[in-house]
Amino acid sequence: MLPVKSLLGCKSICKSCEYKVIRIAQLHEDDDDGAGYVFHFVKVEIYNLSTNSWREIDAVVPFVWFFPCSELLFNGHFHWWADDEDHGGESMLSFHINTKVFQQIRLPDVCAFPDGNERAFLVLNDSIALLLFNPSYQTSFDVWLMTEYGVTESWTKLFTIGPLVQVKRPVLFWKHGLLMEKANGQLVWCNLKSQRLKEFQVYRAQESSRAVAYSESLVSISQGSDIN
């Protein structure tokens, strides 16, 4: 059995300006027929740079899906794509780094995993955008916007990008367009009005392209406790 870990960092919004990191570790294994998995538990830890220590958070957290661009830091909250066990669908799991409170925000009813689509959470017009897409030779991207934070009913479909040839996934809304990754790892920029592509001579490791705001640091982070 191997844990799947998500490691994200942010600058805490507080007077002391402490830097903190939240880590979610999940433990699961393949089921007997190899067609799925058996989910065991989730462990949540927070690292505080000022005290150089990890602390486990006592919380019941649903299963979190780990895909490129399916996790987002926005307005002091971390967000992940997660199951919605109460309603039998999908949700965006939110965690406030200061209050240490989790919240589940349901995704639009059009989301019904497994439907072949991946999900990406990005920031557009100072709001959280959800992009639904199925990576293929020609990929289309449905863009939804949560116009009122935390309100499921506020999810609104804005537009569809594509189909775009050999474009695999979104990376970041940037300069009135969308930075994207091609199947070979090359970065391209899509003009949202014309939907024309501009290629950059920049290649990134496939399945690992992320765009985040960060502050450089030479301080190393110690490991958390082992999962038994």
Q: What's residue 122's pLDDT? A: 93
Please write the tens of the pLDDT for every residue from 9-38.
Answer: 554 545 555 677 888 877 666 555 555 555
Q: Any idea what DSSP says for residue 152?
A: G
Half-sphere exposure of 73 (CA within 13 A, CB side): 18
Q: Which two tokens stand for residue 6?
A: 């998500």
Identify the band that residue 1 occupies on the pLDDT scale cut at 50, 70 and 90: very low
Question: Which neighbouring-strand residues pair with 119?
Answer: 132
The four Cα atoms 138, 114, 91, 101 give a dihedral, to 10 degrees, of -110
Per-residue model confidence (pLDDT) at position 115: 65
Task: Dump strand ranges (E) for 31-165.
Answer: 37-48, 53-57, 64-65, 71-74, 77-84, 89-96, 101-106, 118-124, 127-133, 138-146, 155-165
Identify whether the C-beta of residue 84 lies closer than 8 Å to the C-beta of residue 104.
Answer: yes
DSSP 87: T
* Lowest-pLDDT range of 11-15, 131-135, 137-141: 11-15
Tokens 């409170």 locate to: 101
What residue spans define the domains of the chain?
2-203
Q: What pLDDT, in 10s, does the model give residues 100-111? A: 889 999 988 888
Picking from 7, 15, 78, 65, the residue whose alpha carbon sits closest to that of residue 37 is: 65
More confident residue, 83 or 14: 83
Q: What is the pLDDT of residues 145-171, one digit of tens each?
A: 999 998 989 999 999 998 998 898 899
Is the pLDDT at 6 greater than 70? The verdict is no
The answer to whether 65 and 45 are in contact (CB under 8 A) is no
How many Å apart are CA 170 and CA 192, to the nearest integer?
13
What pLDDT does 228 receive? 42
- Rounded to whole angstroms, the Cα distance separating 119 from 159 reads 15
